[in-house]
Amino acid sequence: MLSPLGEVLATDRGTLDLADADAVRRLVREARPQAIVNAAAYTAVDRAESQRDLAMRVNALAPGVLAEEAKRLGALLVHYSTDYVFDGEKRSPYLEADAPNPVSYYGVTKLGGELAISASGCRHLVLRTSWVYGPRASNFYQLIRRKAAANEAMLMVDDQISVPTPSAFVAAHTVALIRKQAAGLLHLVPSGQATRHEFALEVVRSMKSGSTVEAVPSDRFPSDARRPRYSAMSNANAARALGQALPDWRTLLAMNRELA
């Protein structure tokens, strides 16, 4: 993703534990980067309700440490946040200026990371995104794809609405925003919105699968954490920063042959 911008030092969970603040600080001071991109997070939304200390250290405290070190170095910090900072009570796309009010502890920790970065005074670009999917790792798209490949019947909730976002879209537009020296808080999602049921239907159609997809309410799948019923975000500010309209999520799904 970042190689066109210069030399990249990449870490993973095996080489850097984000829950270890001292290790995070030590690595940044050794590397002395011009830019820090934090693409890692504690993303187990339900487990965060019981693993609160770990979720807070990874999602809130570690970004705060990265921000402090970025400020000391004069470096840019790019950080990814989430639509789950909102409570879902709105019925039109959330704007960057809308007040966050998370309904899950995961959302609380992600908002904590945003606030720590803002309070540090470092040069930063915080990108909120939603329902990120891709060809690797475990995600909602991969679950649907496996079921569709086996022609399995599916039950998908139709009362949670957000914006499905390909990981490749996030990567490409992150580089573009860095090149344009964008800063502050932006919502980086495609255009449009969907329920999980609508997204599943689109994947099934794209695969020409025989799977049926039945719409059901969220209470058919009890969970430890609450999820916002509506968390679609407006990408108007990101589009303005990029100088171009951003494509609809359906177009991106259809275009990406590796995924569709």
Q: Are 96 and 51 a contacting pair, CB within 8 Å?
A: no
Instruction: Give the pLDDT score at 50.
Output: 98
Q: Catalytic site residues?
A: 106
Distance (Å, whole) CA 25 – CA 60: 14
pLDDT at 13: 85
> What percent of the chain lies above the pLDDT cut of 70?
98
Specify the pLDDT at position 259.
46
pLDDT value at position 260?
40
Which structure tokens are listed for 50?
A: 């019981």
- Give the burial class of 181: count Cβ atoms within 10 A of its Cβ; 0-12 exposed, 13-18 middle, 19 or more buried: exposed
In this predicted structure, the answer to whether residue 255 has a pLDDT above a threshold of 90 is: no
Interval 25-36: pLDDT, tens: 999 999 999 999
This prediction has a pTM of 0.95
Output the pLDDT for position 112: 98
**Confidence at 5, pLDDT banded by 50, 70, 90:** confident
Least confident of 3-7, 107-111, 118-122, 192-196: 3-7
Q: What is the pLDDT of residue 223?
A: 96
- The answer to whether residue 183 scores a pLDDT higher than 80 is yes
CA distance 159 to 123: 38
Over residues 51-74, the pLDDT tens digits come to: 999 999 999 999 999 999 999 999
SS (H, E, C) the chain: CCHHHCCCCCCCCCCCCCCCHHHHHHHHHHHCCCEEEECCCCCCCCHHHCCHHHHHHHHHHHHHHHHHHHHHHCCEEEEEEEHHHCCCCCCCCECCCCCCCCCCHHHHHHHHHHHHHHHHCCEEEEEEECCEECCCCCCHHHHHHHHHHCCCCEEEECCCEECCEEHHHHHHHHHHHHHCCCCEEEECCCECCEEHHHHHHHHHHHCCCCCCEEEECHHHCCCCCCCCCECCECCHHHHHHHCCCCCEHHHHHHHCCCCC
When pLDDT is averaged across residues 162-181 and rounded to a whole number, the result is: 96
User: Is residue 242's pLDDT more than 60?
Assistant: yes
Report the alpha-carbon angle 112-118-122, nearest 5. Answer: 130
Percent of the chain with pLDDT over 90: 90
Average pLDDT, the chain: 95
Position 4 pLDDT exceeds 90: no
Q: Quick one: how far is CA 160 from the chain centroid?
A: 16
Q: How far is C-alpha 88 from the chain's CA centre?
A: 16
Tell me if 80 sits within 8 A of 39, measured CB to CB.
yes
Q: Name all domains of the chain by residue range, CATH numbers in brackets.
A: 3-255 (3.40.50.720)
Contacts of 96 (CB under 8 A, 6+ apart): 128, 184, 185, 186, 187, 237
